[in-house]
Structures are given as C-alpha cells and as structure tokens.
Chains A and B, each alone.
Chain A
Amino acid sequence: MIRALVAFVILALTAPLAAEEVVADLSRREVAITANFDGSDILIYGAVKREETQPEGRLDVIITVAGPSQEVTVRKKDKRYGIWVNTESIEIDRAPSFYAIASTGNLETVLSRTSDLRHKISIERAIRSVGAPSSVENAARFTDAVIRIREDNGLYKQYDNTVFLFDDTLFSTTIDLPANLVEGPYLTQIFLVRDGVVIDNYATAIDVNKVGLERWIYDLAHEQPLIYGLLSLFIAITAGWLASAVFRYIRF
C-alpha cells in the first residue's frame, strides 16, 4: 500500500516527462454493422516508449474496450401467488453495453485496488450505481446480476494472460466484438502498469455504426414512425397478394 502510494507520488511529480509512455494503434477504428454483420476482431498493438533505462519492477499492460454506457433497469423475479413475477427493480445509471478487458497477467494480481478505483478498470468498477432505492436490499446483488447476465451473453469479457508483451516493449492483443453490438463510440484504453500502479494510459475510440440498409431502416423507424409503419404494411400486403397470385398461377 505504502509502496503504491510512494510510486504514485513519484509518478505525479514526474508526470510531465513520464519515464515510460504508451504508443498504440488499432487495426480498425470503425466497425460497420451491415445486414450480415457477424462480429468483428480488432487487433490492438503498440509499444512502450522510454527516454531512459527501464526501472525495476514488473511491467504489465491492460487493455479495455467499453461500449456506450446506458441506463439500465434490473428487475428481480419473486414467487407471488404461485407464479414468478418481476418485483423489485433498480436503475443502474451507468453500465457499458459491452466491456472487454485483456491483460498480460491475472487482473487481480496485475492491478492494485487503488489504481482500479482511480481508473475504473475492472468490470465491477466500470458499472456505477448510485441512489438505489432504500426499499431494495442488497443493491450490489443487482449489479452482480448485470455482470453475470452480460457475461453469459458474451458482452462482458475478462481475458487474463491474453496481452502479449515482448521484451517489456512491444505488446498486442485481439479483442473480439460480438454480433449483438449497440451503436456508438467504443472507448478503447491501454493502461501501462508497473507494480500494480498505472503509470501511463492511452485512449481512443472505435466507432460502431449501422450502415446501409440497417441504418436506413433504423432511422426511418425512429424519425418517421408513421411512414415506416405504412411501408411495413405495404410490404406485407404486396407479399400476401404476390404469394396468392403466384400459387394460383402454379396450380393451373
């Protein structure tokens, strides 16, 4: 703890001319959701830039990719009148729609608690819930449930030992984005960690957008709902008429 604090003070003092810096890039900065979008792999790579000789201690790299944050409502089912009904619910005011975290080692050992609190790196820290109603006991169990459900859906992922660090200088990893993505900027952060303390970080964004037909349908549905509804009906009526006409033609 004290070592971490000392390291932090030293870091704060030397911040303008940081001894070690991250230089990084991504294989792509835009992901287009097309009609046959089936997920996407992003290669994240970079190097550690040093002005002087490498200090003592263990060097680690942690890479996080976070989808746009949304407000979510978490509901819990309870048995009422013999059937399972949604009863208690809480609002979580910030939960990323997607969160992947990759590191050079086991996250718990690589990152100190204080650094995690400060930079909100681990999945538990990335979700924030404040002002849960006092009527709900164990609000923490609701955030745990969000993590559990999204881990099951492949939306929250923790990959330990998947960032390859060569010679304490070059690093790379692959983050795999699933098919069920939400649109928006995906904040990508690379943390350089020495002895559990974050000494530098680099942030950029991957833009995930619906394109082409997907974009057009989504925009129309939200901006011109009446026209969209009428168009849906027109397609349905035409298809119904066409099917009946075609099959009558085949029959005779």
Chain B
Amino acid sequence: MQIYLPIAEVSVNAFLLLGLGGIVGILSGMFGVGGGFLMTPLLFFIGIPPAVAVATEANQIVASSFSGVLAHFKRKTVDLRMGVVLLIGGLIGAAIGVQVFAALRAMGQVDLLVKLCYVLFLGIIGGLMFFESLRAIRRSKSPGKLPPRKKHGLVHALPFKMKFRTSGLYISVIPPILVGLVVGILAAIMGVGGGFIMVPAMIYLLGMPTKVVVGTSLFQIIFVTAFTTLLHATTNYTVDMALAVLLLIGGVVGAQIGTRIGVKLKAEQLRILLSLMVLAVCGKLALDLLLQPSELYSIGTGGSH
C-alpha cells in the first residue's frame, strides 16, 4: 500500500515504514536505546529527504521515550533533579543545533554535517562499546577482580555543587549542563535522542549509578526532542506527521517485543551485538563519504531564499 507523505512529498510503501519502525523498535527494546541513530540513516536510504527525516525522527523519539519513561517512573529510577539540570543544557544545545542546521541547509552542507556526525559518533561509541564488551566477556570467562572505579575527578573539583539524592551524588552542575548541551546540539543535527551518547557520558563522566541512568536519560530526551520537534516545525517546516505516525506505531509495538527478547540474552552479548550494529551503520555512511558517488550532482530546491 503506497502512501503519499504530505511534507516529504514522496510516496512510500506504508508497510515498509511500519516494518522499519518495528525492526528498529525491537532493536531499541533489546538494547535500551532510542533507535534514532538507526532510523534516521534508514530513512535516508529509502529516499526521505534528510531534513524531513531528521525532524520527523525527533518527533517519533518523543513517543518512544515517553512510553519508556513511564515504566521508569513506576520503578522510581528517574533522578528528576539531575534530569532538569541536563535538560537546561539540552534545551540551549537544541536551540543552537537547529540554527546550525538551518544555516547549513541553506549552504547545501547539511548532508555532509549529518553524515560526518554519524560517522564520528557511531565510530567512537561503537568501537568503545565493542572493546569494552569483549573485555567483559573475557573477564566473565576468567573470573577475577573488577577494575577499581575512580571516585574523585574533575566533577568534584568545580564550583556550583549540588546534591543529587536519587543518584547519591554531590557534584558541580557544570559538567551535567555541558553534557546536556553537547547532546542537545547533536540531537537537533542528527535527529536522534542522544541516548547512545548520554548514557555512557552519565556513567563514565558524571559517575551516576547505572540503574537511574536510562530513566533519567529518557526523561530529559523527551523534553529535548519535543523542543527540537517544535523548532524544526517552526523554522524548517520539515516535520511530517504522517511519517511520524507510521513509524511510531511500528516502533512502540516493536519495542515491547524487543524488551522480551532482550531479557533472554546476556548483557555482554547484547552490548557486543549492539556495537557491531552501530559499527555497521557507521561503516556504510563512511563508505558513502569516501567512495566516489555514482552521481556527482544533486538537486536542492529553495536553497536560495
């Protein structure tokens, strides 16, 4: 069944979109990530204009994060105070990101920026996760001592300290605001929630306990992506409601199935699979940049304004 998307102005198969939403939903349920970093490139591949893909994906992430955060509120694994601090940084970042996006779109470099961001971040995160989980698997085979965790770092030395009771932390607010800011910029440019950057940053940079990380990250992602959606809708007019609805129907159903599959797998196995997937997407995008494209020319409309 072909469906004409009113904003993207292309006609695509509705079942293809539902299927994509479902598959990415399953993966995001399995690995506890938003899935934006997979969905946005997939939308590029099926011919959705990049600007529409990025803006619409932000809207879809609002739905999946909201669905996820409700469960975390029930389990009381959301650090609201930390969430709000991250959010302040995130909103400023998103506002900067959308402006950068609009400026680069006019210069015709938005594709390049989005792809470069993807290659860079997917490469770093995928690589780190791959080696970390390899080590974890090796460690589980030969049980030994865990590496000692660093207790004091830069986060304790800076001013403006604040108590975060749920996380059991007493740290400066500057690092969380900076983390929020960076993730906010990336969310707006890449059309992702930023969970795959936020989660490691919260664990390794801020030293937050793992059990509150996912809930808190989801909590602030809802607001940042909601804000990004509004900004894209009002500055670029690129949010496609029909596309978002099709993706999120598939997405929310897939996420529930994925969660059940995820329970049956070991954490290290899950992480190594996720890292391989991240590296595969990264590799595909990197090849697009490195190999000579078959068509050197591209057409953009309304680039002059």
Contact = CB atoms under 8 A, between A and B. Distances in A.
Contacts of A237: 62-63, 66
B293 to A, nearest CB: 6
Most buried by A among B70, B233, B242, B248: B233
B256 A240 contact: no
A36 B2 contact: yes
B290 A180 contact: no
B124 to A, nearest CB: 17
A70 B234 contact: no
Contacts of B11: 37-39, 179-180
A239 B248 contact: yes
Interface residues of B, number: 58
A217 B298 contact: no
A239 B292 contact: no
A213 B4 CA distance: 11
A34 interface: yes
Interface in A197-252: 210, 213-215, 217-218, 221-222, 225-226, 228-233, 235-237, 239-241, 243-244, 247
Contacts of B299: 72-75, 145-146, 149-150
B303 A73 contact: yes
Interface residues of A, number: 59
A76 B242 CA distance: 32
B62 A70 contact: no
B63 A230 contact: no
Contacts of B298: 74-75, 77, 86, 149
B290 A83 contact: yes
A36 B3 contact: yes
A229 B237 CA distance: 9
B295 A149 contact: yes
B304 A91 contact: yes
Interface in B28-50: none
Contacts of A150: 299
Given A72-B300, A84-B293, A149-B297, 10 more contacts: A38-B4, A75-B298, A89-B108, A182-B9, A225-B237, A230-B230, A233-B229, A236-B244, A240-B252, A243-B252
**Sorted from nearest, which 7 A-B pairs have the closest CB atoms?**
A229-B233, A240-B66, A145-B297, A179-B11, A243-B252, A73-B303, A240-B67
